[in-house]
Amino acid sequence: MKNLIFSLIIVLFIIGFSCGTSTVNNMQTQDNITKTVQKFISENTINEINLTLKKLYPKDTTNRITKGIQQAATLWEANDGDEQEFKDFCLNNYVSDSDSLFLAYKKIEENLEILFGYFNIMQIKLMEPVHLDKGNIHYVNEILGAYSPSSHIISDMFDNKLAFYVILNFPAYSLSEKKENMDIWTRKEWAYARLGDLFISRAPSNLIAKVAKAEAEADTYISNYNIYLKNLVDDNMNAIFANDDKKDIILNSHWGLRDEIKANYSNPDSFEKQRMIYEVMQKIISQEIPQEVINSKEYFWNPKTNQLYKNNVEIKDFKKEPLTRYEYWMWNFKAQLSIDKYNPIYPTFIERAYDESMELTQKEIESLFVDFMTSTEVKDLGNLIKKRLGRNLEPFDIWYDGFKDRSNIDDATLTAITQKKYPNPNAFKQDIPRILKEMGWGTEKAKYIADKISVDPARGSGHAWGSEMKGDMAHLRTRIAKSGMDYKGYNIAVHELGHNVEQTITLYDIDYYFLKGVPSTSFTEAVAFMFQTNDLKLLGQKSNTNKTEEEALKTLDLCWNAYEIMGVALVDMYSWQWLYNNPDANLLEFKTAVENIAKDVWNKYYASVIGVENSTILAIYSHLICTPMYLANYPVGHLIEHQVEQNLKNKNFADEITRMLLSGKVIPQKWMKDAVNSEISGKALLKDVNYSLKIIKN
């Protein structure tokens, strides 16, 4: 993918590099990040370079020399040059002088923002036919939507030696090292460390493209996985959704189906509808669902008995979906497995998802979730929900939505309001400044942020896609029908707006480009959740409860949401563990394993609360298929959300959240300590749940 423009940019990098002779700021380290050095560069050569550089720069007392040489040697291959060329490269390109090092950093920062920014724009444009509601997806769009323009960039940077320049001068630090240094490093040193995170592996570009293709194709599969609710029938051939006001109820799995269950808690007569949707979910998980009912309204289907009808005649020889769900999941696994050996620091996707991406270890996350789910507060909350419903709990009650104010407002009423207010994407776009002012930003700043966000009609349920360079737009996607934005679409839009606000502030207002963003997805989810919980207020709907009760209900709702998604995240975690232990398994074996894992997690952490055993419902989440190892970010985000919100009490939301966001991409526990003076924990939420239960019971 090298072309003239790309080559010119690389020239800019090279021209900007300089060497120096004095010291850099001391960065306390332990050299525990580099694992086995490749045999191509011998230990003797590494030691010789190390001694030479330390003699050349005796005042450089940091461990950066040793660390940079070792990490560069680990990734240097035969086609990069022989050992003498490696030695010459290190001796000629190590930068000891702090001013020269900062100049090199700024040159890299400036030019990588250009590269990352335009690659991001290309990716967004190529995926628009897949992500946006623009009619049928053409075969050409499927191919190009799965194509990753940036898949060669890491490979190219190793080929032209920029990667080695970065590794030598801005080496990577392990998660444990970052934890040790989190209160010592300056902002500049944190930026250097984040630059060092860029080149820690050297997977071939074709394998990186394979990963992108697997995820894109899984996303397309999920985006087009719709169920026509008016075509669902019970044992008496009654289409129980047929009398609903909407012309068609076309719900995407799993988001739309789940949200329909949630919406029906405001209707006391909707139990059978919820149960029917639950049966649909069960058939999707087991892959017993007829292929004919996926994204089609040609047939009527009884999901409980799995009987299919056309023109009132039962179809006996229908085809079940052929394990397609697990096939896409498996493709993601195979794609990630293919690049494991090129990741010496994080050699499995599980480690890349947790230690590298979330910067919380798998053990930390699992312990955090298990402690929360087995608490007495969660069991007491389940008993309260049972009492409020006036019946025994069902597995789908993990999505109980009765603590929200909107539970007392019919979904159709809210949809009528949102459709009138937002008949098209531009109407929501034009309202963003007002929404931001309601959240506490001043008029000028609200417009400043809003001007950097576009609103697009999503093909799926919706998502937020941020910019990678200043001057570009962040993208907010949500479903918007011809009749206007329904309430579900609005609720998602407010959530995604939270993401876009975070993305915009931490790109445009941050001090160093490589500190843009937040520590992990959990943090941007926390911001999005805080926006989403204000959706009715932003819609002009007043609360029916007093402030004390309102806060108590919000706390209970947050706890139940965290409890639900923690189990799903564990299913995700354990399923990937199973795949790594059984890499040659076939699809049927994998499907059976997932169902057993889902049942096991359910029986350990939900059966005693819900009162039902052996449910597989935790395996319904679409993220399992199209966004691998992402789900743990949601419950961690809920815990962060609560801790942050407690710190926001009696303060201006916009001012405080901006202060917190501008910590940027430091590690999670550093961010939390700076933001709320406490590390991530479920204890604060459980403590408030205990208090809130007393208020609601009374």
Indicate the average pLDDT of the chain. 90
DSSP-derived secondary structure for 414-438 = HHHHHHHH-SSHHHHHHHHHHHHHH
Instruction: Give per-residue pLDDT as tens, 351-381.
Output: 999 999 999 999 999 999 999 999 999 999 9
Shared domain check, 244 and 292: yes
Q: Which of 468, 534, 527 is nearest to 502 (CA)?
A: 527
Please report whether residue 363 resides in a domain: no
- Would 357 be classed as within a structural domain? no
Query: Is residue 24's pLDDT more than 50?
Result: no
- 388 and 299 in a single domain? The answer is yes
Query: Which pLDDT tens digit goes with each residue over 648-695?
Result: 888 999 999 999 999 999 999 999 999 999 999 999 999 999 999 999
Residues 81 and 155 in one domain: yes
Domain assignment present for 352: no
Do residues 312 and 432 share a domain?
Answer: no
599 and 660 together in one domain:
yes
Considering the domain architecture, whether residues 622 and 666 belong to the same structural domain is answered as yes
Is 137 inside a domain boundary?
A: yes
Question: pTM of this prediction?
Answer: 0.81
How far apart are alpha carbons 625 and 253 in whole angstroms?
11
Do 95 and 181 belong to one domain? yes
β-partners of residue 456 are 477
- Cα 53 to chain center, whole Å? 42
Is the separation of the CB atoms in 299 and 609 below 8 Å? no
Strand partners, 399: none
Assign 245 a pLDDT band (cuts: 50, 70, 90): low
Which domain range does residue 298 map to?
A: 224-249+266-338+371-409+541-698
Question: What's the full length of the chain, in residues?
Answer: 698
Of the residues 511, 533, 555, the one at which a domain ends = 533
Domain count within the chain: 3
209 in any annotated domain? no
Read off the pLDDT of each residue in 123-141 and give the average, rounded to a whole number: 85
Decide if pLDDT at 332 tops 60. yes
User: What pLDDT score was predicted for residue 543?
Assistant: 67
- 638 vs 522: CA distance, rounded Å: 8
Query: Do both 510 and 621 map to the same domain?
Result: no
261 lies in some domain: no
| Residue 63 sits in the same domain as residue 152 | yes
For residue 553, count CB atoms less than 10 angstroms from its CB and return exposed for 0-12, middle for 13-18, buried for 19 or more. buried
Residues contacting residue 601 through CB under 8 Å, at least 6 positions apart: 567, 570, 571, 574, 618
CA distance 12 to 478: 39
Task: Read off the pLDDT of residues 248-306 as tens digits, 9 standing for 90 and up.
Answer: 789 999 999 999 999 899 887 899 999 999 999 999 999 999 999 999 999 999 999 99
Among residues 512, 533, 554, which one ends one of the domains?
A: 533
Q: List 314's β-bridge partners, or say none.
A: 309
Model confidence band, residue 21 (pLDDT cutoffs 50, 70, 90): very low
Whether residue 170 sits in one domain with residue 28: yes
pLDDT band with cut points at 50, 70 and 90 for residue 1: very low
Claim to verify: residue 488 and residue 616 sit in the same structural domain: no
pLDDT of residue 680: 95
Does the residue 213 lie in any domain? no
pLDDT of residue 247: 65
**Minimum mean pLDDT range among 304-313, 474-483, 601-610:** 474-483
Per-residue pLDDT reduced to its tens digit, 632-647: 999 999 999 899 989 9
Residues 322 and 458 in one domain: no
* In the predicted structure, residue 153 carries a pLDDT above the cut 80: yes
